[in-house]
Amino acid sequence: MNTIRDRFPFFSHNPHVVYLDSAATTLKADVALQALNEYYTSYSVNIHRGMYPLAQKADLAYHASRKKIAHFLNAQTPDEIVFTKGATEGLNLLASSLGQSLINPERGVLTSVIEHHANFVPWQQIAKKHNAPFQVALINPLTMTVREICDEFEKNITQDTAILALTHISNVTGTVLPIQEIAHRARQINPHIIIVLDMCQSVQHMSIDVQQLDIDFAVFSGHKCFGPTGIGVLYGKKSRLDNLLPYQFGGDMIYEVGLSQSSFAEAPSKFEAGTPPIAQAISLASALEFVQEIISSDCHNNLKDLRAYCVKQFEKLFPNDVVVHQSKHLDSCAIVCFTVNRCHPHDVAHMLGEQNICIRAGHHCAQPLHKHLNIPSSCRVSLSVYNTTDDIDNLMQGITRVITQLS
Ligand SMILES: Cc1ncc(COP(=O)(O)O)c(C=O)c1O
């Protein structure tokens, strides 16, 4: 019988690898690889330039991909989808362009202490550049309730908060933030606030409806949702994108170029200077079709159960040696963050690696969060649809060996 694992060619090359690092990057789905391969082998020509049939085929595939992604996110139109090279580029684009037009010494940015550095440092730096206030909501993703989290954001929002940038799911603890509630309360205080959502850890796990979430902008990376590296999406409400300045200049993003002045194309083209990642964009649409397929299947309940099994096994087998850092009140999605007493997370990950078990250790690009929680660093198991209870059992055996050797 075919299983979901059969959809990932990685496993036929690496049958003994226990892959538990999907928050860093997921494995690649067969349909995404096929789309990539088909473009590169049968119609690998540039878009927006050629008059010949193959160029039109590439054009059509690129634009069909934008349309499919708009549909996936429930955006109002494909023009609300900008292709970037990843979430980090999308966030830098926003920080740079919104920063230029919206922030100043009176009006600033609010983010949270749990953000990935990609949704923290660009805002911190742009605020510095414009001498603007940079505030950080000190939420605790382990101990706070929905209400306390909303209150903490609310406490920091005023009429002068130009931008609120926050994550959907913590890449360290897996805590799912109550985005709709936070957005609702933010807009009650300040109807003009611009809300930017980092969806890097949510896109592969849940149906996303950007209209229902009521956000202005959102970003994610293709490689974290079964697609290729080198591609990301920046969603923006059409009216917001229309008002945003371009971030890079060059071919394809212009309307007219003169010797002293140039005018620019409409969104999304004005944000896609140069030859875009064509193959990756086409492949990403196939990857998201796969996501849609698994979201509508049982796989997601299985993943919830698998996460619960992992936590239960940690608690049962290592009650005195392992501490699981998870939210007491909010849902946690696909990630189990833990530390092993008396063992450095790097040593744990290294020793598991020697047993073909791939987990992540360190600060996971979230130093402010680790400092806030007073944990220097942590180990992270991140699950996806291809993981099984065998993977968790192997992990537990691996941890037993680590504890025996290290403590
Ligand atoms: C929550 C979150 N935001 C942003 C990023 C940055 O993504 P990328 O490195 O693909 O640009 C990551 C990557 O781990 C992430 O987990």
Q: Are residues 44 and 180 in the same domain?
A: yes
Angle (CA) 370-350-342 rounded to 5° is 55
Q: Does some domain include residue 26?
A: no
- Residue 300 pLDDT: 74
- Residue 407 pLDDT: 72
Residue-wise pLDDT for 374-392, tens only, equals 999 999 999 999 999 999 9
- Residue 248 pLDDT: 96
Boundary residue ending a domain (273, 293, 313): 293
Q: Are residues 321 and 273 in the same domain?
A: no
Q: Are residues 346 and 287 in the same domain?
A: no
Choice from 21, 26, 85, 88 to test ligand 1 binding pocket (greatest atom count within 8 A of CB): 88
Choice from 365, 380, 382, 384 to test ligand 1 binding pocket (greatest atom count within 8 A of CB): 365
Q: Which residue has the tokens 């791939």?
A: 358
- Does ligand 1 come within 6 angstroms of the Cβ of 173? no
Q: Are residues 189 and 322 in the same domain?
A: no
Q: Are residues 262 and 217 in the same domain?
A: yes
- Find the helix or strand (DSSP H, E) in which 382 lies: strand 378-382
Q: Which of 200, 225, 365, 379 is catalytic?
A: 365
Boundary residue ending a domain (293, 325, 342): 293
**DSSP secondary structure letters along 95-113:** HHHHHHHH--SSSEEEEET
**Using CA atoms, how far apart are residues 246 and 257, in angstroms rounded to an integer?**
15
Q: Are residues 266 and 303 in the same domain?
A: no
Which position has the higher pLDDT, 49 or 141? 141
Q: Does some domain include residue 354?
A: yes
Cβ atoms 179, 149 nearer than 8 A: no
- Residue 153 pLDDT: 98
Q: Are residues 318 and 255 in the same domain?
A: no
Q: Are residues 171 and 258 in the same domain?
A: yes
Q: Does some domain include residue 319?
A: yes
Boundary residue ending a domain (261, 293, 325): 293
Tokens coding 169: 């799911």
Residue-wise pLDDT for 178-226, tens only, equals 999 999 999 999 999 999 999 999 999 999 999 999 999 999 999 999 9
Q: How far is the CA of 37 from the centre of ligand 1 (A)?
A: 25
- Does ligand 1 come within 6 angstroms of the Cβ of 171? yes
- Residue 1 pLDDT: 63
- Does ligand 1 come within 6 angstroms of the Cβ of 360? no
Cβ atoms 195, 214 nearer than 8 A: yes
Q: Does some domain include residue 27?
A: no
365 is catalytic: yes
- Does ligand 1 come within 6 angstroms of the Cβ of 201? yes
Q: What is the CATH number of the domain that holds 285?
A: 3.40.640.10
Q: Are residues 304 and 268 in the same domain?
A: no
Q: What is the rounded average pLDDT for all residues in the chain?
A: 96
Expressed in angstroms, the distance from the first to the final Cα of the chain is: 43
Reported confidence tier of residue 52, pLDDT bands at 50, 70, 90: very high
- Does ligand 1 come within 6 angstroms of the Cβ of 167? yes
Q: Are residues 85 and 194 in the same domain?
A: yes
- Residue 333 pLDDT: 96
Q: What is the CATH number of the domain that holds 362?
A: 3.90.1150.10
Q: Does some domain include residue 123?
A: yes
The number of folded domains in the chain is: 2
Residue-wise pLDDT for 142-188, tens only, equals 999 999 999 999 999 999 999 999 999 999 999 999 999 999 999 99
Q: How far is the CA of 199 from the centre of ligand 1 (A)?
A: 9
Q: Please state the separation of Cα 363 from the chain's center in Å.
A: 17
The range of the structural domain enclosing residue 272 comes to 32-293
Is pTM beyond 0.85 here? yes
Residue-wise pLDDT for 227-268, tens only, equals 999 999 999 999 999 999 999 999 999 999 999 999 999 999
Reported confidence tier of residue 405, pLDDT bands at 50, 70, 90: very high
CA neighbor of 72 nearest in space, from 287, 341, 333: 287
Q: How far is the CA of 126 from the centre of ligand 1 (A)?
A: 19
Q: Does some domain include residue 25?
A: no
Q: How far is the CA of 87 from the centre of ligand 1 (A)?
A: 6
- Does ligand 1 come within 6 angstroms of the Cβ of 26? no
Reported confidence tier of residue 299, pLDDT bands at 50, 70, 90: confident
Q: Are residues 267 and 325 in the same domain?
A: no
**DSSP character at residue 257:** E
Query: Which ligand 1 atom is nearest residue 25's CA?
Result: 14
Choice from 197, 221, 360 to test ligand 1 binding pocket (greatest atom count within 8 A of CB): 221
Q: Are residues 78 and 189 in the same domain?
A: yes
Q: Does some domain include residue 253?
A: yes
Instruction: Look at residue 290 and tell me whether its pLDDT is greater than 90.
Output: yes
